[in-house]
A = this chain, B = another copy of it.
Amino acid sequence: MKVISRVYGIKEYVTRARREGKLIGFVPTMGWLHGGHLSLLRSAREECDVVIMSIFVNPTQFGPSEDLEKYPRDMERDKKLAEDAGADVLFAPSTGEMYPDGYATYVEVVGPLSQTMCGGARPGHFRGVATVVAKLFNIVEPDKSYFGQKDAQQAVIVKRMVKDLDMPLEVRVLPTVREEDGLAMSSRNSYLSEDQRRQATGLFKSLKRAEEMARGGEVSAQSIKEEMKRILLEGKSVRIDYIAIVDADSLEALDEVRDNTLIAVAAFVGGTRLIDNTIIHHR
């Protein structure tokens, strides 16, 4: 596996690969790789000729009081994991390489998509995400790019951006990968103490219960939210940020669960903000 830290280095690599007619798969990450990232890599490996992963802890998507500084990093471990999962190239730029002096351009998906759910709690977050993903797409010029369903709103926003800006690539969104007890894999899980780790399963449990209620015919978003809240707050260190029941594409709030409904939760467990979600499909 090649490790490249400069934009021109990747561009050179990609230009050659494209000239050879290779199909390029791309997995953008912030590193501290877990099973979710690796499942994206494996899909890219199956579907593409060349697999590029990026590791970049993107400062523009962190708020001033968020965890940019302490976000977990271990490049040596990540390199080994990426190589074992089949990456051909790891792109790991510095912040100065991505945002040099005089940098001034931002991509923004405006309106409800960016303002609800995590957008409410993290103003500017999705502008940072859209901007860095647009940059990475222009650098890597992938045919297919891979994202995890765990970050449901991010996936919707990236798909919206790609469609709106006519970007020449396909966005693949793959299922959330979970620990044995259901906790969605996340780099931020490493912040949890043993006790918090136990309480963190409440997110998954609350979503399972919501699915069960929906399957049983419950349509009231209010009733489902109340039941989810009850389950979440069984964890003594849990503070709910939001429970959202929305259309899975437009993210518009729904009073009644219907086909293609996204049920999403964000909660602090101790100081760690975790998210998880499920999509209800009728029929």
* A residues with CB within 8 A of B: 7, 11, 19, 21, 102-111, 113, 130-131, 134-135, 138-139, 141, 160-161, 164-168, 250
Contacts and interface: CB of A to CB of B under 8 A. Distances in A.
A278 B160 CA distance: 40
Contact of A7 (B19, B134, B139, B166): B166
Contact of A104 (B109, B141, B167): B109
A207 B157 CA distance: 46
A163 to B, nearest CB: 8
A167 B105 CA distance: 12
B109 A108 contact: no
Contacts of A19: 21
| Interface secondary structure of A, over-half rule | mixed
A245 to B, nearest CB: 20
Nearest to A112: B104
Given A105-B165, A107-B108, A135-B166, 14 more contacts: A104-B110, A104-B111, A104-B113, A104-B160, A105-B107, A105-B108, A105-B109, A105-B110, A105-B161, A105-B164, A107-B134, A135-B164, A138-B166, A138-B168
Contacts of A106: 107-108, 110
A270 to B, nearest CB: 35
A141 B111 CA distance: 28
A155 B131 CA distance: 21
A103 B106 CA distance: 17
Nearest to A98: B166
Contacts of A11: 166, 168
- 7 closest pairs, A vs B, by CB? A105-B164, A138-B166, A139-B166, A105-B161, A138-B167, A105-B109, A104-B111
Contact of A130 (B7, B105, B166, B167): B105
Nearest to A15: B168
Contacts of A168: 11, 138, 141
B138 A107 contact: no
Contacts of A164: 103-105, 135
Contacts of A109: 104-105
Nearest to A113: B104
